[in-house]
Amino acid sequence: MKKNIFPEPLKKGAKIAIISPAGAVDPSQLEKGIEMIKNKGFEPVLGEHLYSRFSNGYTYAGTEKERIKDINWALNDKEISAIWASRGGYGCQHLIQHLKLKNFEENPKWYIGYSDNTVIQSYLLKKGFVSIHGQTIKTSSFGVTDESYDLIFDTLRGKTLKYNLESHQLNKKGTIEGELVGGNLALIYALLGSRYSFDFKDKILFIEDIGENFYALDRMIMSLELAGVFNKIRGLIVGGMTNMGDEKENKNYEESFDEFAYKLISERISKYKFPVVFGFPNGHIKDNRPLLIGGIAHIKIGTKVKIEF
């Protein structure tokens, strides 16, 4: 089994670049995260256009050129040891054709983010590099647990990720090992058919999402089926499905694992034999524990769920 490249563990004082590759952020939204990086013994380095704003049907963190400039700086600056996205939103697809990895390939570094950052992580995996699908610097309205951040810092320092979780009633039991791919379902769906799409053959797929109507969720799952994804993967992990369904409904963000969304997914994949984990704590949820995109996951699904990278 091919092993992808893990960046070197970060040493005390290492520089972590903070960039905004997609949606705009205000300084007040990043204050706690930046202070946390300092308190953990690292040096945050702010991208030139971290707080820029450009409106074009959506409020981006700067123009495409500005965001491309920031991400290529962070990827290739030899003094930077890790890159942490300020937030997701929309806009990473604008950057993907313009990414440069010349110095990055000589000095790989962790890329940390989720949501729209799935696009960047798919690109890095195509080049053979592992990244962290975990909480961004900006905390959302539903908050973030301390453990969610602590586990990211543990990973940056070189510690192995291990999880021992309760089993969900919709789980399909089994033991599997394979490379983890995926992230936000809408972006996995958006990349299908492009040269930037994940390679699903013999992989374990992770999906999570937020704010999708149930018919849109079903459409995306159907697209994966029509693309043959479920015939290729070894297993599936389903994370947070938050604020799903009718947009007019009064949704509670604490309902992170929407049971009707899970039911829809379970029904669509019922004919497939691969093991499935429902309710993994990763996604647009408060308890957003990191996963390694491109890492080799060892998973045992029984009365408990054990996952180790």
Domain CATH for 68:
3.40.50.10740
Say how many C-beta atoms besides its own lie within 10 A of residue 291's C-beta: 30
Both 106 and 129 in a single domain?
A: yes
Which pLDDT score, from 0 to 100, does residue 253 have? 47
Same-domain status, 288 and 167: yes
| Residue 9 domain-assigned (yes or no) | no
Instruction: Flag whether the pTM goes above 0.75.
Output: yes
Same domain? 301 vs 183:
yes
Across 122-138, b (16+ Cβ under 10 Å) vs e yields bbbbeeebbbbbbbbbb
Quick check: is 193 in a domain? yes
Say what the pLDDT of residue 1 is.
Answer: 62
Q: Which among 131, 208, 212, 256 is annotated as catalytic?
A: 208
Specify whether 137 is located in the same domain as 266: no
Block means of pLDDT (10 residues each) for the chain, 309 residues, are: 90 98 97 97 98 98 98 98 98 98 96 98 98 93 90 98 97 98 98 97 97 96 98 98 74 71 97 98 96 98 97
Q: From the candidates 49, 133, 168, 284, give the one annotated as an active-site residue.
A: 284
CATH number at residue 296: 3.50.30.60
Does residue 285 share a domain with residue 210? yes
Number of domains composing the chain:
2
> What is the distance of C-alpha 255 from the center of its chain?
20
Q: What is the pLDDT of residue 173?
A: 98
Q: What is the pLDDT of residue 211?
A: 92
- 180 and 44 co-located in one domain: no
Catalytic residue flag (residue 208): yes
Do 150 and 51 lie in a common domain?
A: yes
Which of these three, 114, 133, 156, is where a domain ends? 156
19 lies in a domain?
yes
Q: Tell whether 29 is covered by a domain.
A: yes
DSSP notation for 122-175: HHHHHTTB-EEE---SS--TT---HHHHHHHHHHHTTPPPEEEEEPPTT-B-EE
Which domain does 146 fall in, by range? 15-156
For position 249, what pLDDT does the model report?
A: 52
Residue 9: the pLDDT is: 97
Q: Classify residue 4: in a domain, yes or no.
A: no
Same domain, 132 and 170: no
Backbone φ and ψ for 5, nearest 5 degrees, come out as: -85, 125
Q: Could you say which of 81, 115, 256, 266 is catalytic?
A: 115
pLDDT at residue number 140 = 76
Annotation says 115 is catalytic: yes
Distance CA 155, CA 151 (A): 6
pLDDT on residue 3:
86
pLDDT of residue 112: 98
User: Is residue 88 located within the same domain as residue 33?
Assistant: yes
* Residue 147 is a catalytic residue: no
